[in-house]
């Protein structure tokens, strides 16, 4: 079995500390330093959490997609590498579910405060919910399929789910929506006041670091599970060979 080296462990703790520190700075920026929003008051500060997390929950599916494609490519050529890719795919799918849940929940809180309703079947919200449903169904498939073919089937489903992610992103331009137009890169009127940018970037950096942190921890865990499984299989084979004829 792979041994966790002290250096690797040190780097992991350093990463954890760094992401916590950046999140703390981001919290200070967003809650205390940024001027209060003229239209929304203090409620507007949820922007610094909702938007970075929404952006990240659209990025992790791509990693999941890429890992699944690598899995499908290596499946016959190099099964051990394929298993690593599969562990990464599983991990990012779980983190996607976590991040998009947080995105949906903070969005609901924000919607209740500014629009007066918890939820509206606006296309953007619907597509986010859809993304969440897709990755929950991905995790369900992994749970239901019989052992041995889980990886392949999950990778195939991930390709299907990834095709939906661009639809989520484009939907804001395709359909007229209640959700505000894209704040970044959405045309001449988009963009935020420069005073809001530091808080936004600190939080974006913080949640990215934190996301990578939990991905790596979960990945290490899944790798250990896989290696333990291989070890058990190997021992079973060896034991069966030792039975005297």
Partner 1 sequence: MNYLRHVLDHLRKDLRLEWRSRDSLNGMLFFSLLVVVVFGLAFDPTSYPTVARQISGGILWVALLFASITALNQSWAREQRNNVLEAQRMAPSPASALFLGKAIANLLFVLVVEAVLAPIFIVFFNLHALGSIWLLALIMPLGTWALVVNGTFFAALGLRARNRELLLPLLLLPISLPALLAMVQATTGVLTGDLDPIQINTWIKQLLGYDIIFTTVCILLFETVLNAE
**What 8-state DSSP symbol labels residue 148?**
T
Is residue 94 within 8 Å of residue 83, measured between CB atoms? no
Cα 194–117–206 angle (5° rounding)?
40
- Judged by beta carbon, residue 83 or residue 204, the one nearer partner 1 is 83
Q: How far is the CB of 111 from partner 1 (least distance, A)?
A: 20
Is residue 93 within 8 Å of residue 158, measured between CB atoms? yes
Is residue 50 within 8 Å of residue 56, measured between CB atoms? no
Number of residues that bind partner 1 (CB under 8 A): 26
Using CB under 8 A as the binding rule, the residues of this chain from 134 to 163 that contact partner 1 are: 134, 136-137, 140-141, 144-146, 148-149, 152-153, 156-157, 159-161, 163
What stretch of H or E contains 60?
A: helix 47-77
- Judged by beta carbon, residue 19 or residue 127, the one nearer partner 1 is 127
| Residue 41 phi, psi dihedral angles, 5° rounding | 75, -155
**Which residue of 12, 18, 44, 164 would you call a contact of partner 1, by CB under 8 A?**
164
- Judged by beta carbon, residue 126 or residue 226, the one nearer partner 1 is 126
**Which residue of 130, 196, 199, 204 would you call a contact of partner 1, by CB under 8 A?**
130
d(CA 184, CA 170): 14
Q: How far is the CB of 62 from partner 1 (least distance, A)?
A: 16
Q: Hey, what are 136's tokens?
A: 């929950």
Rule CB under 8 A: say whether 66 interacts with partner 1: no
Residues at the contact surface with partner 1, assessed by CB under 8 A = 72, 126-127, 130, 133-134, 136-137, 140-141, 144-146, 148-149, 152-153, 156-157, 159-161, 163-164, 167, 174
């Amino acid at each position: 079995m792979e041994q966790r080296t002290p250096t690797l462990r040190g780097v992991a703790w350093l990463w954890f500390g760094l992401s916590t520190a950046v999140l703390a700075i981001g919290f200070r920026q967003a809650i205390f330093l940024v001027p209060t929003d003229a239209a929304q008051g203090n409620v507007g500060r949820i922007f610094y959490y909702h938007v970075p997390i929404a952006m990240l929950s659209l990025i992790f599916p791509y990693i999941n997609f890429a890992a699944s494609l690598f899995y499908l490519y290596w499946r016959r050529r190099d099964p051990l590498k394929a298993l690593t890719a599969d562990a990464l795919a599983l991990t990012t799918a779980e983190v996607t579910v976590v991040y998009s849940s947080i995105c949906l929940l903070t969005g609901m809180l924000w919607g209740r405060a500014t629009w007066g309703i918890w939820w509206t079947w606006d296309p953007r919200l619907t597509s986010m919910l859809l993304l969440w449903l897709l990755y929950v169904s991905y995790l369900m498939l992994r749970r239901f399929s019989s052992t041995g073919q889980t990886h392949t089937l999950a990778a195939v489903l991930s390709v299907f789910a990834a095709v939906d992610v661009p639809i989520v992103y484009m939907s804001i331009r395709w359909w007229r929506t209640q959700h505000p137009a894209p704040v970044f890169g959405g045309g001449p009127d988009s963009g935020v006041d420069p005073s809001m940018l530091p808080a936004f970037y600190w939080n974006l950096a913080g949640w990215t670091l934190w996301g990578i942190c939990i991905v790596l921890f979960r990945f290490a865990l899944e790798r250990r599970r896989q290696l333990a499984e291989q070890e058990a299989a190997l021992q079973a084979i060896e034991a069966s060979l030792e039975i005297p004829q």
